[in-house]
Amino acid sequence: MSNLNDLTAFESSVAERTAGMSLASLDDKNAPKVALLGALAWVHVKRTEPGLKYEEYMKRVTANEVADYLFGGDVDEDSSEAGFLDGDGGGAADGAGADEGAVLSGDGDRAE
């Protein structure tokens, strides 16, 4: 969880308030997670794009891109993070590695 562990307490609290969910809900297999994980990725991306709005960010990324960004594409298929989309521990985070960076451009291309 490279980028997730990099967040400050303030950034984490902003993400919780934005998503209306506590970080503790990440441990609940049945709790929806896309909004919270998106908010966590968004506050991290705001370091380089301070004016970026949550809604703008969520409209330009896919749920899989959020997972790849937060977990670096190294999520174990059996972990709770891997199944945040489908709730069964399946591979939601497949594809890009941590070295590909966040989706930062408005056209959806990954940052170089």
For the stretch 26-78, pLDDT in tens is 999 999 999 999 999 999 999 999 999 999 999 999 999 999 999 886 554 44
pLDDT at site 74: 56
Question: How would residue 107 be classed by pLDDT, with cut points 50, 70 and 90?
Answer: very low
Q: Decide if pLDDT at 16 tops 50.
A: yes
Instruction: Using alpha carbons, list the distances in angstroms from residue 41 to 45, 53, 60, 91, 109.
Output: 6, 12, 12, 19, 16
pLDDT at site 42: 97
The domain ranges of the chain are 2-100
Which of 95, 102, 100 minimizes the C-alpha distance to 66?
A: 102
Q: Decide if pLDDT at 98 tops 50.
A: no
